[in-house]
Amino acid sequence: MCRGSVVIHWRQYIEASRQDEPMPDQQSAYQCPSATTDPLRLLRQQLQQWAEELGFQQIGVTGVALAEDEQRLQQWLAAGYHGEMGYMADHGNMRSRPAELLPGTLRVISVRMDYRAPGVELAGALTDKHRAYISRYALGRDYHKLMRKRLTELGNRLQQAAGPLGFRAFVDSAPVLERALAANAGLGWIGKNTMLINRKAGSYFFLGEILTDLPLPVDTPDRADHCGRCTACLDICPTQAFVGPHLLDARRCISYLTIELKGPIPTELRAGLGNRIFGCDDCQIGCPWNRFSKPTTEADFTPRHRLDKATLLELFSWDEQTFLNRTEGMPIRRTGYENWLRNIAVALGNAPASLDIQAALQQRRPLATPLVQEHIDWALQQQLSNTINNS
């Protein structure tokens, strides 16, 4: 291998491209047998190999232009669809302008990583109303740290090859329009359910980004709308959160209600939660493209504490210390113990009438916060109504 000589060649080429100077004489530079006439393209190919070695299923590169996406974001915020997620409106236009987040940014490297664990039920788990449904991305280890560590390693390898460069890795850790950037990088298209969908892999994957000042060649986005006339994701939504194709009112979305919302869940939306206590996957379960989704090979995404099979009563019995112990290093920790009980109380109210459920609700009530008590009272009323209707 003559990698060292190629690195020198890349650095000459890259420095010239940054300064808008004529490129180094290709004939005067030492030529490795594997080198191409465009060292940045060779580096892009190497980046692909590194990404695969680090466990990413796909990688793409795009520029920083997001003018149309910025306009759509502003309209969405103006309509108030973000609810209590004030952070979506923070930082001005930085979310749609990567170069403001990291000055000098010329390219965004976008990656995806599958998370659906083998053998974990999806739609089937929603039919058993005594079981708790937790969004399938949240059953294992928190993906933020895992992916950020690997993205940083990918950036370090890039820097070792190309020489000093500016880069930062992000995984939901900064204001970034990750789905729009991933679509521009050729990783898929944004479906009617606002998820990024890949024709060969569905949508059960995480996204991450590296912002860099290295002018890598960009990938070609797929601008076709492969959703066609299908509206399965819109029709299946339990709380009718979609205003229309590509437009989500987060205030009605179960993921927002069970994770982001800090106060009471609106009464008119509680029945729609069913047995979902953390997040929701319905608009992905209903998407025909997810028949092509691939199970993850990451052991860290395997369900912990059998949470894919846990009952509502089992989880409702956890005290706060048990909750903290068993959700350590998991996305579920984010909702907090109070909202955890709030969500489960609603799900218990939606469950078939049961003396065991009613006893558990009554036992928990005196120890609960006012917020949880209100949801317990609602659940007990629902249980009573279910008992009368079944008698």
Task: Name 112's bridge partners.
Answer: 58, 207
Residue environment code for 190-220, b if the CB has 16+ CB neighbours within 10 A, otherwise e: bbbbbbbbbeebbbbbbbbbbbbbbebebbe
- Are 87 and 121 in contact by the 8 Å Cβ rule? The answer is no
* Residues annotated as catalytic (active site), given as ranges: 172
The DSSP-derived string for 133-173 is EE-GGGSSS-HHHHHHHHHHHHHHHHHHHH-S--EEEESSS
**What sign does the CA torsion over 49, 119, 140, 376 have?**
positive
The helix/strand/coil state of 27 is: coil
Structure letter (DSSP) for residue 258 = I
User: For residue 250, how many other CB atoms are within 10 A of its CB?
Assistant: 20
